[in-house]
Amino acid sequence: MKLRTGSKKKLEDKTLEVDALEARLQSLETKMRQERANARDRAAGLAMSMQQLEDEKAKLREVILGNSVKQKTSDDDIKQRFASLRQQIQALANSPAYDLQQLYAMRSPVRLFGVQWNLLSPADLVFHLRAVIFSIIHRHILSRDIFGLEDSLRSREHHREMKLDDALGDFEGLLRENEVKETFISDWRLSTLKCIGTFRPASRDRSAASSEIWNVLEAFARHGQDSSKLFAEICQLCDNAFNLRLLTRQSDDRYQFEIPEVGVEYDPDKGYVEAYGVIGGGKESNIVAIPFCGALVKYTVNGDTEASFVLEPAQVVVQAKESKKSSYATNDYLTG
């Protein structure tokens, strides 16, 4: 009897021990499942954090790339290149390779671009030639909304061709005509320029500017000059103008090259026009006679308005208040 009672006691003790072990095992399994769940949550959170870091990195890269484009387009850089372009035009108009004096040997009036050239003083003649060269470059290059797309002709139906670069510029003009926000336009322009830069950007001017300038200067070329070399110098001038214009396009701001009209009276206090001589002699007036280089103007968006800043004034020869004689007073003393 005592043996049976002792065995029962041991069995109950073992049962309690097994129950305790099972309870502990269940507790450990529950804890392990919780740890696994927590580990999965931590892993998911870590993956999310890593993805967020990658997203932030991508955003930061876009900001850096965007800022790098803007930093390339500084006012000082544009002004320096514009000054260099002015100097090149000045050198071309004063080049000893061309003989402008032959105009004075002609008895009949020689009218070019609406002006009787052989009635101008030698200095005024050079100023007018510079005005003609700049106006051609302005019309074909500096005033255009170019994108620098190389080989931009695309075949269309019925053997028609569409000039994609011109079409992009026309579309930008359409956006501006319909008063689309300038920030939207600049974002679109910069994105388009970035896309073009990845596959086929142009490195030189392909407009008719160089041929048109040569058509003017060819008649003045001195005998024995290498015409191919002279034309190459004109092409280089136009390429430099093209690269300058393309540089001004790579900015949130809008840079324009503006030529004052002949016969317009200007306000010298506004800093938009700077006079470099008087045509016809007499006292200097504020009326434009020969605008031989346009102004460089920067337009910056400020809220819903656009503010303008004159970075470089237009350079002109003005009319005299009382013209009594032909004057040689317009000395070409520009340095850039």
pLDDT digits (tens, 9 = 90+) for 97-139: 998 877 666 555 555 555 666 667 788 888 989 999 999 999 9
* Across 186-199, average pLDDT: 86
Number of domains, the chain = 1
The answer on pLDDT for 71 being more than 50 is no
Q: How far apart are CA 230 and CA 282, in angstroms?
A: 37
pLDDT above 90: percentage of residues in the chain: 37
Record the tokens describing residue 288, joined without a space: 């434009």
pLDDT of 65 reads 47
pLDDT of 249 reads 92
- Domain housing 59: 1-72
For 144-171, what is each residue's pLDDT tens digit?
998 887 665 555 555 455 588 888 989 9
1 vs 223, higher pLDDT: 223
334 in a structural domain: no
53 in a structural domain: yes
pLDDT above 70: percentage of residues in the chain: 68
- The DSSP annotation for 267-333 comes to -GGGSSEEEEEEESSSSEEEEEEEEEE-EEEEEEEETTEEEEEEEE-EEEEEEESS--S--------
157 vs 260, higher pLDDT: 260
10 in a structural domain: yes
**Residue 133 CB-density burial (10 A; 0-12 exposed, 13-18 middle, 19+ buried):** buried
100 vs 289, higher pLDDT: 289
20 in a structural domain: yes
Least confident of 26-40, 102-116, 211-225, 252-266: 102-116
55 in a structural domain: yes
Q: What is the mean pLDDT of the chain?
A: 79
pLDDT of 252 reads 87
CB atoms within 10 A of CB 296: 25
177 in a structural domain: no
* Across 331-335, average pLDDT: 38
The answer on pLDDT for 220 being more than 80 is yes
**Confidence bin at 329 (pLDDT 50/70/90):** very low
- CB-side neighbour CA atoms (13 Å) of 163: 9
310 in a structural domain: no
pLDDT of 219 reads 83
Record the tokens describing residue 268, joined without a space: 């010298």
Q: How far apart are CA 278 and CA 320, in angstroms?
A: 6
Least confident of 5-19, 206-220, 263-277: 5-19
260 in a structural domain: no
